[in-house]
Every structure is written in C-alpha cells, then in structure tokens.
Amino acid sequence: MKSNQKSSQKILMLGWEFPPHITGGLGTACEGLTRALSKKGLEVHFLMPHLFGNEEASHLQLYDVNDPHTSANLKYSQKWKSAVQGRTEWLIENYPAFRTFKNTSFYPIQSPLSPYLRTIPGHTQVKLETLMELQARKKKLTASPDASPVLDFDDPELQFVPEHGHQGQSNSAHYGEQLFEEVDRYSTNALLTATQIQFDLIHAHDWMTYPAALLIAKLSHKPCILHVHSLESDRSGGFKNEHIAKIERESLLAAHAIIAVSQYTKDKLIEEYGIHGAKIMVVHNGLQERKRFKEARTPDGLYHVLFLGRVTFQKGPDYFVEAALKVLKLLPNTLFTLAGNGDMLDRLRARIQEAKAEKNFYMPGFLKGHDVDRAFAHSDLYVMPSVSEPFGISALEALYYNVPIVVSRQSGISEVIRHALKADFWDVDELANLIVGALKYPEMGRDLLHMAAQELKHLDWDAAATQVNEIYQSMGGA
C-alpha cells in the first residue's frame, strides 16, 4: 500500500557532485534526498558530470554523462527512443549546437573551481545568450507551470551551426578551469544521456544543471523542478557574477516548480529574481543519518570555539575573527579554530597577527573525514556567522555532535532551529557576547541542545522526501 502506487514514478535528477567528492553541502544534500526518495519507492536516475567510481549510491542509478561506457549500459527506453527517433543521431552530429552558452566567450577561471567560488572581477562582462533566453524572447515565455513546452525538436532555434566542437577536450571533472564550458558540456551530454532513460519528471540541483534540465524538459515535455540550494548572491557577496545570476534567473523563471531550501531563500528568489512565490515550495534539508565519531575529550582548561566552512565572504569568517578578538578580552583562555580554505585566509591571518592573538587561533585548513569529527567533538561552541546562508547544514551537524550553535539571523537554519543563539552577522558585539555567555554558562548550552534535539526530529531527509514527493505528485509527473 505504502509505495506501490508511487513505485512507478521515475525521476531524472541532475546534479553536480555526489559524496564522497564534494566541495560543499550540495552533494551531501543530493545524497540524503535521493536515499530518502528511493526508500519511498521512487526510481531516481542521477546524472553527474563525472564519476570517480567510489560513490556510495546503491540506492539510485548514477550516470556519468561524459562517459560513453556508462551510457552504453543505460537502461534503454524504447518509448523514448522512438520519440526522438532520428533526432539522436542528429543530436550527436550537431551536439555542439546544444551549447547552452552560445556566443559566450569562455574564459578560464583560476584555481580549483567549485561552483561556490567567486568569479574573478573583470570577467563579468561576458555576453550571454542561452537557449532559454532565445526562447523567452521569442515566445514571451511565462513562468506559469502550464506553459507550453519550452523547446521542440523542430524549433529552428535549435538548428545552430556548430562553431567548434569539444571533442578534443578531456572530460575533466575538476571543474576548475572552464566552468562554463563544463556546464555547457554537461548540458549537452546530459541531454544525450536522458534520451536513453525513461522518466516522469526532471529535478535539477543548482544553476550548473538548470540549462540541462530545461533542455531536457523542453524535448521530453516533462515537468521540470529546479532545486535551489544556494544563489549566486549567497555565494558571491559583493562580486556577483552576472552571467551566473542571469542563468539562474532565466532558468528559475522558466521552471515549472522550484524547491527552495529555506524561507530565507524563497524570499530572496521573490525579491531578487521576481519569481512568483506560488511556484516556490520550501523544503528544509534533513541531516544524513550516519555514525558520528565522537572522540572523548581531554580537558585542557581551554574553551574551544569552532568555525568550519569556506573562508569566503559568504561565510562571514571576518566577523568570526572580530568577535573572537573581543571574546579574548574577557576569556583569554579560549582557542578559536578556523577550519576551511578560501580567499580571505591571508587577510584574516594578518588581522590575527596584528592583534597579537596567534596563540589563540588554530587554522588547520580544509578538514575531511575524521578530522571534521574531531573538530566538532572538541568544541564547546560552533559559530556560523554567515552573511548569507540558504540553509547551513554544518550547524545541524554541530548539534548532532552535541555542540551548541551560534548562527546568524541571515541563515535558513535560523528559521528551523529556534533553540540556537542568534545574532545579526554584522553585530560583532552581540556575537562576542553570545560566545562569552555560552562558554561561561554551559548549562545554557545543555538547555539549547536539549530543546534543539526536539526540533531536529522534524528535520530528517524522510520528512524532506515526503514533501518533495508531494510536489512530484502535484506536478502530475506520474
């Protein structure tokens, strides 16, 4: 009874990363969500730009869209095949024409790039003309979910003449060098892969996969749900990449439905991109059930405060450091761990040196695996002073390690966990005050954790998957 009726529903899911190879919360969220969805009997086909071979994904069909070998093993859908009969060949022949970013001059983005890294100033004036834009212009596409399909095989706009191919490119998954090119290639290859999969609807995670999702939606006439884990304005602060923002906006306007990870994000979608609130559903992230390694602590007479995240504008590490310096005036025996990498690291090091507080700071860089466990387990308090945080799953993690949290009011987590200490990210005095209070009065931390535990019960992936499934049902994709 439970899921028989739903078991026939097949989801084509487009993602960019999957554990263990992740750069942020996106991959983790995709794993948690797909696991819970498959428990509900949904068949999830998950398309990735690249697979490393050690993904733990027995619960779903994982595809490497750039790898012809996995494509060869695809479950074949005769129905789909016939639907695009003759077109597949055409697509392969012409596939550079599917370049989502036609007329875009690609530019290299330095450093190992994740979709979270900020663009390089000076490269933001790139002209973009996506398929969606062309379509939007031509058909005055509306955001209404019952709008007619966006793309069609007979659409002359699709008959681009290839400019140059990608054949010579390696299928690098180190998205570093040419992100837009990667996104472009992903879009094309995902479309090709999708022709060989039977599915009822499309569900795509963050902007890198949106163009692909809309292309496939257009060609398959299936509903398209875009999931927003973060927005360009969250990631970039002052240096918004207009190019990415444009992709986000156009795609989200064209989507049939949108899932936002928080009310905070939903509000931003409405405010920044003018998207109709009625098609945005808020589904809060859950937390992966997994064994957490809780190492016993040896008392060392110090207070331990943890920041763990990218050391970039978005995460507010500078506010963390400023608050820490204020805390040290009252509680000099405090050790602040600033774990993570990012472009603000050097500046913060200099600031700490200037304040002569080097001995109170530990900056181990990016932590993985047990080192993360250890960092949490050894902390008295977790501080997440994000300037803009769509959700903030790391703060949930902290709660699972029984570490009370201080979070900025500008975070999605703040709307689901009321029992957290909260301050505006810019209010360094208040941050410092909360940190001092939490360290001096551990009884408050115990009350916080006790109460937050009740709230956490409602925040699991099963609950999220239930909501997502309801959205699937309402899309009539079954």
Partner 1 sequence: MPAVCFYFQVHQPFRIKRLRFEEVGKRRPYFDDEKNALILDKVGRKSYLKTNTVLLELIQKHAGRFKVSFSISGVALDQMRLYDPTLLKSFQDLVATGCVELLSETYYHSLAALYDVEEFKEQVAAHQKLIKNLFGVEPKIFRNTELIYNDTIGRQVAELGFTGILAEGADDVLAWRSPNFVYHHPNAPLKILTKNYRLSDDIAFRFSNRGWNEFPLTTEKFSKWVHAVSGLGDTVNLFMDYETFGEHQWEETGIFEFLKALPDAILRHPHWCFMTPSEVIANFPAVAPLAFTRDVSWADVERDTSAWNGNEMQRSALATIYALGKQVKSRNNAAVLKTWRRLLTSDHFYYMCTKFFSDGDVHAYFSPFKSPYEAFLSYMAIIEDFSMLLDQKNNRGKL
Catalog residues that contact partner 1 under the rule CB under 8 A. Answer: 326, 329-330, 418-419, 421-422, 429-430, 432-434, 436-437, 440-441, 443-444, 446-448, 450-451, 454-455
Write b or e for each residue in 221-259: b if 16 or more Cβ atoms lie within 10 A of its Cβ, otherwise e: ebbbbbbbbbbbbbbbeeebbebbbbbbbbbbbbbbbbb
Q: How far is the CB of 439 from partner 1 (least distance, A)?
A: 10
Considering the complex, state which of residue 102 and residue 422 has its C-beta at the smaller distance from partner 1: 422
Q: How far is the CB of 271 from partner 1 (least distance, A)?
A: 24
Considering the complex, state which of residue 275 and residue 439 has its C-beta at the smaller distance from partner 1: 439
Instruction: Measure the CA–CA gap between 338 and 8, rounded to whole angstroms.
Output: 47
Q: Which of 342, 420, 378, 425 is nearest to 118 (CA)?
A: 342
Provide the token pair at 377: 């387990």
Considering the complex, state which of residue 197 and residue 323 has its C-beta at the smaller distance from partner 1: 323
Considering the complex, state which of residue 194 and residue 434 has its C-beta at the smaller distance from partner 1: 434
Considering the complex, state which of residue 155 and residue 415 has its C-beta at the smaller distance from partner 1: 415
Q: How far is the CB of 358 from partner 1 (least distance, A)?
A: 23
Q: Work out the number of other CB atoms within 10 angstroms of the CB of residue 92.
A: 11
Provide the token pair at 324: 């820490």
Q: What is the separation, in whole angstroms, between the first and last Cα of the chain? A: 16
Q: How far is the CB of 375 from partner 1 (least distance, A)?
A: 24
Q: How far is the CB of 296 from partner 1 (least distance, A)?
A: 23
Radius of gyration of the chain (CA): 23
Q: How far is the CB of 464 from partner 1 (least distance, A)?
A: 19
Q: How far is the CB of 155 from partner 1 (least distance, A)?
A: 52
Instruction: Measure the CA–CA gap between 386 and 390, rounded to whole angstroms.
Output: 10
Q: How far is the CB of 442 from partner 1 (least distance, A)?
A: 9
Considering the complex, state which of residue 344 and residue 434 has its C-beta at the smaller distance from partner 1: 434
Considering the complex, state which of residue 123 and residue 418 has its C-beta at the smaller distance from partner 1: 418
Considering the complex, state which of residue 146 and residue 443 has its C-beta at the smaller distance from partner 1: 443
Q: How far is the CB of 388 from partner 1 (least distance, A)?
A: 21
Considering the complex, state which of residue 323 and residue 387 has its C-beta at the smaller distance from partner 1: 323
